[in-house]
Amino acid sequence: MKIAHSLSAIALGLTLATQVNAAEFTFAKSIKPNDNTLVLFLDTDSQVANFNYLKPETQTHLNKVIEFSDFKAGYGKTLEVIAPNGSDHQRILLVGLGEQPKLDAAKMAKLGGNVHAKLQSAKQANVSLDFSELKDSAINAKYAAEFAHGANLRDHRFEQYKKEQDSHVVNYTLDVENLDQAVKTHKLLQSIEQGVFLARDLTSEVATEMTPVDFAKAAKELKKLGVKITVLEPKQLKKLGMGALEAVGRGSEEGARLVVAHYQGNKNTPIALVGKGITFDSGGYSLKTGASIARMKSDMAGAAAVLGTVKAMALAKADTNVVAVMGMAANMVSQFAVAPGDVVRTAEGLSVEIVNTDAEGRLAMGDLLSEMKDRALNEVNPELFTVATLTGHAARAMGPYSAYVENGPARAAKISRQIADLGDLWADGAEVSRSRREDYDFIRPRTLADDVLSSNNAASAVTARGHQFPMAFLAIVGGLDKHGTESAQPLPYVHMDIAGSGVEGGDWQHGKPTAATVSSLFARYCL
């Protein structure tokens, strides 16, 4: 009897995610000889003869095709053989690994995504994958799980508004040496996937169906995983002095919401995550026009990412303590909306002049950062983050990568560098930026009515240091300017601007949400 362990993404997804993958994975110690497709992984030193279960005529056929095609098994290269001689498989797909010592988790996951896309488009039903060229049993198991992880991430889709959804499922059998290790690793990676999928689905949902109230309802689903959820409404925000967040939501019928998600896997100092949750950003009275307003339903990707991170940690039963606070609002135009020239009062007691109502994200997060700062003062070695699709400048400056803007204590602790390096392993590239005194000078008060300026009145993409100075605003409004490197109580703070990395290719009008930040944060604190 064939020894096998099956982990179905569909079965898991039915209870844990709004969308599911069209892929199922079975880890086994043998392949199925009659599957539609056989995938053979070859490195630069591999020989077809290594796969000794293949019939001699099949080996001869493959060797000829390899020779005639000059296939060198470079990383990511593929060679497809249809109706191979002597084989019951309809096709054999040769996949290059390159030089094995240069393989890593990110490369294997990317390979899984690319191979799955090829097989899915070819409507293959049953696929066997031979990982035997990865000789080390631990590596064999790990990379098989990473392959499945990449395939799932690539395949995830949001299709509920389409007339016809793609229902095709690819059933994979993965040949591995250490079944228990493969299953254990895959289960952990599935926790990450479910967090990513939640964030992607929330970001993809249309704005009329994903209001601040709807987001709060989605967050409450995490109670089933042991996550404590708290939701505050506009009257409560006013009572707490959170005038900035409350002001952003005034133009919409529902108003703003503060959503708190707390997963306590230990009693250590909680990781503090603040997410920007603008469910639709019209720009307010500084109205966006043309293409700039397209896909502004995605301006809550920061909040979605931090909620997805909490879900991933909860599913994995991670030994972490994380508090995510999300400032949710629709930035709309109405007789109640804030207008340029208005002054609002923050939780820190500062007055802020609103020059441009399209600079709303920093207002939605500033009050929350202040609250997290107050809590952090009573903790040991706290770390604070804001996560937001904040500026066009970040996308212009960094391309399809995140921009991490750090304060002095965070730089001293190398927090941004650590997350960026882990992101390289988890397909979430980032660039590290520094906050400088010029950024604080940019937002100095200009009138007798305000303590700090929220923004200028020009697009961030054409403003010098357009993604750095908003971090300075957040630091001041959050009260972190008093907790720098030279202070009695330094507090590490990193602002993660994901405007460039939030969608594939940085194409906010047509791109697919990545939610890649979930993987980077999970990797730093849980792996």
pLDDT tens column, 251-266:
999 999 999 999 999 9
CA distance 176 to 29: 6
Angle, CA 121 vertex, CA 27 and CA 155 arms, to 5°: 55
pLDDT at 345 over 50: yes
Region of poorest pLDDT, from 15-24, 254-263, 280-289 = 15-24
Does residue 516 fall inside a structural domain? yes
> Could you tell me what percent of the chain has a pLDDT over 70?
96
pLDDT at 36 over 90: yes
Sheet with 384-388: list strands edge to edge.
228-232, 257-264, 321-331, 271-281, 384-388, 493-497, 402-406, 430-434
| Shared-domain flag, residues 300 and 266 | yes
Q: Is 362 among the residues known to form the active site?
A: yes
Comparing C-alpha atoms, which of 312, 262, 225, 228 is closest to residue 520?
Answer: 312
Region of poorest pLDDT, from 14-23, 259-268, 327-336, 498-507 = 14-23
CA distance 202 to 326: 13
| Shared-domain flag, residues 118 and 213 | no
pLDDT at 81 over 50: yes
From 362, 373, 465, 524, active-site residue: 362
| Shared-domain flag, residues 336 and 415 | yes
Q: What is the band of 18 on the pLDDT scale with cuts at 50, 70, 90?
A: very low
Region of poorest pLDDT, from 17-31, 113-127, 478-492 = 17-31
pLDDT tens column, 357-376:
999 999 999 999 999 999 99
Does residue 197 fall inside a structural domain? no
pLDDT at 125 over 60: yes
H/E run at residue 187 = helix 179-204
Does residue 292 fall inside a structural domain? yes
Are the CB atoms for 427 and 110 separated by under 8 Å?
yes
pLDDT tens column, 448-473:
889 999 999 988 989 999 999 999 99
Does residue 200 fall inside a structural domain? no
| Shared-domain flag, residues 417 and 506 | yes
| Shared-domain flag, residues 185 and 230 | no
* CATH code assigned at 46: 3.40.220.10
CA distance 336 to 339: 9
Q: What is the band of 500 on the pLDDT scale with cuts at 50, 70, 90?
A: very high
| Shared-domain flag, residues 288 and 400 | yes
Domain that includes residue 48, residue range = 4-161+168-192
Q: Could you tell me the pTM of the whole model?
A: 0.93
Q: What is the band of 34 on the pLDDT scale with cuts at 50, 70, 90?
A: confident
**Mean model confidence pLDDT for the chain:** 93
Helix then strand count (H, E) for the chain reads 16, 18
* CATH code assigned at 314: 3.40.630.10
Helix (H/G/I), strand (E/B), else coil: 419: helix
From 288, 396, 417, 434, active-site residue: 288
| Shared-domain flag, residues 230 and 326 | yes
